[in-house]
Structure 1
């Protein structure tokens, strides 16, 4: 086995002695060396944080490294502290996550995670002089995963977190004395204004550096008024600011040992550390959960449209593999930035027609005990059909809310439906359209791994079994979004059968009313 292969395999063994994943939130720091042969401690690990599902998995991995070899001194996580809370409270809340259940027994490992007060929106990440100096002296590998991911947040907030925050991390990285690896995690849709997305750094005509100047010159109100200009060609502010952040990295960070990873839509974890794990911050998971509850019945797309999703653990594994590849084969001399796209469209596409068939199949196996109506879904882009669905279920929701009010309950069904409809409008652009996302660099990286590496460091999407994956995703949404245990399944099955009968009775009543109306119209016309 070659030295680089030993290094890679050793890293994975230390991280996942029995299989697992990782968590980067903003920046992480491992050394791309032969980890099986080192006897010294790792430098500290840096994690500029926002609420990001990838981040939690990276921290979990580095804690496993520390548990295995005691080679990580500290894992610093830069967190924003709200009024009335503290870093200690944020830390305790973070530790309660289920993904850390397997490592909570090792209290010493968890103590190595230190939350530091900071903010991506502030100069030098809002760090104190002491914290800033400690980080630039110790950190040698950075994973920047922190980002504001809300599709409809104010443009100034997104620019501050995604562009300004990225610049602050890049500038900090340039001051790091022993920097060896910098992995910037972007989005597969940061370049969604193009039909084919290559593994290259694209230029944004607005210029990421110019955006930094605008942030200094204008207030929030003025920046928000400029949104149409900034969003030109992009469906929402999130992907627009990620494109600008990529452009900023292209212009300012080519002298660093840096690579960019672009995962597409992040789905729940398929295998590790907890099968099906997800949280409420994943928009698409919430969306298909609404469909499972029977709150909506239209997907604005054709059966042939492709949904490009990546299981969370697959995405994290590629990020780690990228760090190994970058550390083993640095690109500083060429001043190039290597890009790794990670999507399923190119190698293992999932058409929406098949996706919906699988969701419907597992609805009978894993129904929700909170189901509000019988689940049925129509794939169509026909506006008339979409409007007819509103006529079908809005009156029912109003009746349910009215009945609840008579019983002294506050109305909730129409509010939930409006929220679901809002989410669908946000995601519609990415559901209706299909992109060709090239993954040549990612495939080349996969081929560099030996057999054992591929088993432990899996990120090859071509082998994903979508039948198993969709089952895992639905089970995960029941457990972690709806908070329903397996013990609720018998009641959920009964609820599903009752709602199915109610649905078909309602359809019959609607058809009878329609027949009467048509008959009266015909008689009136004659």
Structure 2
């Protein structure tokens, strides 16, 4: 019998961020692996005219929940969406809902966050720090709380080269910072942002580090663990390999390569790409909550959930694998053929040299053709968005980090053999090439909603386009050469000399046979 599954029997769980990528996988895994949980309360806000219940119903109808639906057809009876807004006082909870949570909840998983890298600092702090503080306040009222799991990021202290499983002291006191942004307007916060953020690449990583410090300082009696995943990507094994549902992070980059849109990018091919499949941190979160509740020492536990230390994979390997895969397994209707010789370079000047040639020129030509056909031009605007996204990723693709993972390895050793299989987070077992194939086909199937049965048709299309490109290149060379011959006597004489030498060589070879 699994010790973790046994622990979760009859437990009531609160989840924030349940509509996000990690939150969806967490909810599915909890219900599938721990079928005897009592209830999952999901804090969800109204959005785009949908109620929290409608949003959750839409999510659980997706492909991610197919296996769970077969195993437990009535699993939705254990889900209860609760109307909430983390940016509101008291989390926007009604009095009755707050009383319910305070009296019932045993475990809290806090995965909600503002993950936009270049979000205004005030909003990043409100969502990632102030909302966390408000949730902590709710946890401190809970009468049966056994574990509070906070999802941070491995890049919370990316201004350091080596990052241990500790909380590093901030330059600015968290509470004083929150007090300041409460009365400052947006312009005032923008003015002080460069001095506050300093050697952090963006407001996201800065705010996550501040949130960790606030939790450590104000947690009181709350049993706390902080999980720090690196770059979270598609599922490795469960509930289905390669599942991903958004363009965030590397997924959008891979699709841009597959569509032939992205042909040059700043990055160090030799740097470790610390991507971690989403099911790894989810399993770690579930195991960490069990560990705190059953074996906790009272100390805050920090877990660096990364792959580069144990099982490194480089950006260069990822780029090569992505291009080769999408040439063999093409996406539908690519803008251009995926670039076999794509520029993935650490030299920014070389990248900037190729951007106008390989990105902007084709984009402007395409938009001219779109206008001529009476269609709305879109490629220049798309490239503008792509370049802004690439700029925000430069910090992570051009350098590497080292993380200690002592606590992760220790927790793994504490698990039984059955729990290690059910709640796996040993990243040394990842076969990266196989994982990338599942990831890339998953992006095609689940993000782009493309029919994999049409892959042979896509291959034939790619081959036709390649043949046309070869013919056009040959014609262009011939035309250019003919123009040079017509305009330059020196080139014409060189041409005749080359032809003469070739004929003499062929004649010599023919005579040699006799």
TM-score (ref. length: structure 1) = 0.86
Shift of 1:339: 0.7
C-alpha separation between the residues in 2 aligned to 1:183 and 1:390? 43
Shift of 1:195: 0.5
Partner of 1:165: 131
Contact 1:257–1:331 (CA<8 Å) still a contact in 2? no
Partner of 1:422: 388
Contact 1:63–1:110 (CA<8 Å) still a contact in 2? no
1:366-415 Cα offsets, whole Å, 9 max, x none, are 21013111222222122343233223232222222222222221112222
Shift of 1:181: 0.8
Instruction: Tell me which of 8, 12, 16 is aligned to 1:48.
Output: 16
Partner of 2:46: 81
Shift of 1:520: 9.8
Shift of 1:192: 0.4
C-alpha separation between the residues in 1 aligned to 2:282 and 2:451? 27
C-alpha separation between the residues in 2 aligned to 1:281 and 1:211? 32
Q: Is 2:450 aligned against 1:450? A: no
Aligned length: 483
1:228-255 Cα offsets, whole Å, 9 max, x none, are 1232111111111111111111211153
Instruction: Tell me which of 213, 232, 236 is aligned to 1:247.
Output: 213
Partner of 1:195: 161
State how 1:78-227 maps to structure 2 within 5 Å: 78-82=43-47, 84-104=49-69, 106=72, 108-227=74-193
State how 1:346-361 maps to structure 2 within 5 Å: 346-361=309-324
C-alpha separation between the residues in 1 aligned to 2:80 and 2:110? 17
Residues 136 and 480 of structure 1: is their aligned pair in 2 closer, same or farther, counting only changes over 3 Å? same
Residues 407 and 307 of structure 1: is their aligned pair in 2 closer, same or farther, counting only changes over 3 Å? same
1:295-348 Cα offsets, whole Å, 9 max, x none, are 12123123211110001111211111111211222132xxx3111101111111
C-alpha separation between the residues in 1 aligned to 2:234 and 2:368? 36
Shift of 1:455: 1.9
State how 1:382-393 maps to structure 2 within 5 Å: 382-393=347-358
C-alpha separation between the residues in 1 aligned to 2:130 and 2:470? 54
Contact 1:287–1:423 (CA<8 Å) still a contact in 2? no
Contact 1:201–1:337 (CA<8 Å) still a contact in 2? no
Partner of 1:24: none
Instruction: Tell me which of 286, 292, 307 is aligned to 2:258.
Output: 292
Residues 365 and 181 of structure 1: is their aligned pair in 2 closer, same or farther, counting only changes over 3 Å? same
Q: Name the structure with the higher helix share.
A: 2
Instruction: Tell me which of 303, 308, 317 is aligned to 1:340.
Output: 303
Higher mean C-alpha deviation, range 46-55 or range 158-167: 46-55
Uncovered stretches (5+) of structure 1, i.e. residues with no partner: 12-32
Partner of 2:443: 477
1:20-62 Cα offsets, whole Å, 9 max, x none, are xxxxxxxxxxxxx3x5xx6xx33x3212237521100111123
1:117-168 Cα offsets, whole Å, 9 max, x none, are 1111111111011101110111111111111111122222111110001001
C-alpha separation between the residues in 1 aligned to 2:220 and 2:329? 49
Q: Is 2:434 aligned against 1:468? A: yes
C-alpha separation between the residues in 2 aligned to 1:281 and 1:384? 27
Residues 391 and 499 of structure 1: is their aligned pair in 2 closer, same or farther, counting only changes over 3 Å? farther
Contact 1:269–1:312 (CA<8 Å) still a contact in 2? yes
SS at match of 2:320: helix
Instruction: Tell me which of 7, 14, 29 is aligned to 2:3.
Output: 7
Contact 2:32–2:68 (CA<8 Å) still a contact in 1? yes
Q: Is 2:332 aligned against 1:369? A: yes
Higher mean C-alpha deviation, range 74-83 or range 102-111: 102-111
C-alpha separation between the residues in 2 aligned to 1:505 and 1:46? 61
Residues 510 and 207 of structure 1: is their aligned pair in 2 closer, same or farther, counting only changes over 3 Å? farther
Residues 281 and 160 of structure 1: is their aligned pair in 2 closer, same or farther, counting only changes over 3 Å? farther
Residues 128 and 270 of structure 1: is their aligned pair in 2 closer, same or farther, counting only changes over 3 Å? same
Partner of 2:32: 64
**Larger-gyration structure (1/2):** 2
Contact 1:294–1:371 (CA<8 Å) still a contact in 2? yes
C-alpha separation between the residues in 1 aligned to 2:386 and 2:294? 46
Contact 1:371–1:495 (CA<8 Å) still a contact in 2? no
Uncovered stretches (5+) of structure 2, i.e. residues with no partner: 491-514
1:421-469 Cα offsets, whole Å, 9 max, x none, are 1211111110001001111111111122232222222111111101101
Q: Is 2:375 aligned against 1:379? A: no
State the 4+ residue runs in structure 1 displaced beyond 4 angstroms. 502-517
Residues 504 and 321 of structure 1: is their aligned pair in 2 closer, same or farther, counting only changes over 3 Å? farther
Residues 387 and 217 of structure 1: is their aligned pair in 2 closer, same or farther, counting only changes over 3 Å? closer
Residues 379 and 89 of structure 1: is their aligned pair in 2 closer, same or farther, counting only changes over 3 Å? same
Partner of 2:270: 304
Partner of 2:495: none
Contact 2:343–2:351 (CA<8 Å) still a contact in 1? no
Contact 1:310–1:343 (CA<8 Å) still a contact in 2? yes
